[in-house]
Amino acid sequence: MIVKVVNPNTSGEMTALVERSARAVALPGTRVEAVSPVMGGPASIESHYDEALSVPGLLTEIARAQAGDPPSDGFVIACFGDPGLDAARELADGPVVGIAEAAMHAASFLGRGFSVVTTLARTEGRAWDLAERYGMTRFCRGVRSCEIPVLALEDPASDAFAAIVAEARRAVADDGAEAIVLGCAGMADLAPRMTAAVGVPVVDGVAAATKTVEGLVAMGLRKGGHGEFAAPPPKAYTGLMSDFEIPKPDIC
């Protein structure tokens, strides 16, 4: 099977990181390919504005992967805001899983409660929104930020790892968290070291989403052909959005 991991930002280093993290947990017969939007987009996603402008590029990559030879079987959205998830599910035939969605569900299997440790405080509200959407508020003990910009995670000279570990330890001590969810795809490679340093399971959403997609595909499960996530109805798009027009199906 082919699992396409789409990093909605344009950081090549982060795309390579999420590909390594996804491949590390995938089965030998699974081909993992990570991409970032060819059409461009934000260098990192740290605001609602960034998130909104990342979605066209994300959807373009999913459409390209579906038209590939062979097409991708399932998709991972490698940003903790899970941008464009509903639209991606309309567009894709195979399963689409966001890393926040997968990580929160995985953490709920590991203890009575988890805390999210993310980058900037301005993104905490989005994490709480997603916890509510996914039915995870009964498990989510807290959302904590380290005030570390996303792209600083790529700098080996930064003290990002120490800051994230310190916040995770506070979550265990103060929130009663029995697991930690990493709140950024750029943290994907930290989970094993953090588990050892913090003493509770640390869940990387890239790995969790990859295994979720892999499992759904292996079970032969995909979305239904009707209802809310059916393919979007054909219609014209104009101006700069004309490339996103949904064509009418061919009728033989």
Q: Is the same domain home to 215 and 90?
A: yes
Q: Using only the alpha carbons of the chain, give its radius of gyration.
A: 18
Residues 6+ apart with CB under 8 A from 211: 25, 26, 102
Q: Is the same domain home to 180 and 160?
A: yes
Q: Is the same domain home to 118 and 154?
A: yes
Q: Is the same domain home to 85 and 134?
A: no
Q: Is the same domain home to 135 and 88?
A: no
How many domains does one find in the chain?
A: 2
CATH number of domain containing 170: 3.40.50.12500
Residue 40 domain boundaries: 2-98+208-244
User: Residue 18 in contact with residue 189, Cβ under 8 Å?
Assistant: no
Distance CA 2, CA 216 (A): 12
Q: Is the same domain home to 107 and 177?
A: yes
pLDDT of residue 252: 54
pLDDT of residue 60: 97
Is 124 among the domain residues? yes
Q: Is the same domain home to 198 and 110?
A: yes
Say what the pTM is: 0.96
Is 57 among the domain residues? yes
Sheet holding 2-6, edge to edge: 31-35, 2-6, 74-77, 96-98
Q: Is the same domain home to 93 and 212?
A: yes
pLDDT of residue 250: 67
Is 192 among the domain residues? yes
Is 252 among the domain residues? no
pLDDT of residue 82: 98
Q: List per-block mean pLDDT (blocks of 10 residues) for the chain, which spans 252 residues.
A: 98 97 98 98 98 98 96 98 98 97 98 98 98 98 96 88 97 98 97 97 98 98 89 94 85 56
Q: Is the same domain home to 132 and 212?
A: no
Q: Is the same domain home to 51 and 128?
A: no
Is 184 among the domain residues? yes
User: Residue 41 in contact with residue 62, Cβ under 8 Å?
Assistant: no
Q: Is the same domain home to 114 and 55?
A: no
Which among 113, 104, 101, 35 has a CA at the least distance from the CA of 72?
A: 35
Q: Is the same domain home to 105 and 72?
A: no
